[in-house]
Amino acid sequence: MKPNDRITESENPNTAGIDKLDVTSALLLINEEDSRVAQAVKDAVPDIAELIENLVPRVKKGGRLIYIGTGTSGRLGVLDASEIPPTFGVPPGRVVGLIAGGYDALHQAVEASEDDFRAGAEDLDSIGLGPNDSVIGIAASGRTPYTIGALAHANRLGCLTGCITCVPDSEIVDQAAYPIVAVVGPEVIAGSTRMKSGTAQKMILNMISTMLMIRLGYVIGNRMTNVRPSNEKLRERTVRILVSETDLDEASAIELLNRTDGDLKVAIVTAKTGATIERAVEALKASDQVIATAVERLGAI
């Protein structure tokens, strides 16, 4: 066992008496410990950036981003992957989340599955893992056999591999070509890595997936221009974005969105190029749904 192996499960001297505190004092103590997470993630930014720079070209060529993990780590990966299609309007399957124990593990503990070194590889094979894919293993402790085995298998197939962990020099770091380590220290409650470690993992996952979508062209300025208007709030947002991105007034924007069945991408391309809706659809299809590329194909007016 390496010296740092138990860092995420060691007892935190700062919170040793938390069970004796009043609620407000205990919450302030939790908040104080949480405040250390952002700095730990900031310290890891150079490594996060390096992973993203190498990830983007592979995804542009059709490879998938695959998160894999167990317990809290696996759930966070599945959560991030599931939020990408509705947030950025990309097809499901571009970003994939796998968790040991499958769907049941999302809402109930299936923790024994994390000890199976071969199961991670089997789960990756079940989705047709190929050399163009990129696999990021998520493990707070850095020593989860399921996740380590998954990365070892991905390496053998020639995939890009990365990891998100909170323990330096851990086993998973040895398996990842692009390791990300956010050292948040002991948890408020010993071993409860859903807290500081989970927060760090969530922040890093947000960074990776958001920057990936930006680099793929699914964001203009700071606007999610591929958003799908699946409810009233999102319908109002699409109108605001269309007005901001074009010279249309609100009434004209609503009229154009009605003609494009609410497809913001098509509406923006149509408004910016003067093309017909049909030509805008074709240009977007040929441009992997990236608005800027479609506009360039058609020529902005």
Q: Which residues contact residue 61 at a Cβ distance below 8 angstroms, ignoring those fewer than 6 apart?
A: 132
Largest CA distance in the chain: 68
Tokens of 117: 């070194």
Q: How many CB atoms lie within 10 A of CB 276?
A: 11
* Active-site annotation holds for 83: yes
Q: Which helix (H) or strand (E) holds 66?
A: strand 65-69
Which member of 9, 11, 111, 114 is catalytic?
A: 114
* Active-site annotation holds for 114: yes
User: Could you give the CA distance from residue 145 to residue 183 in angstroms, rounded to a whole number?
Assistant: 20
Which member of 9, 50, 83, 282 is catalytic?
A: 83
Residues of the chain by 3-state class (helix, strand, coil), percent to 5: 55, 10, 35
Hey, is 282 helix, strand or coil?
helix
DSSP string across 233-252: HHHHHHHHHHHHHSS--HHH
Residues noted as catalytic: 83, 114
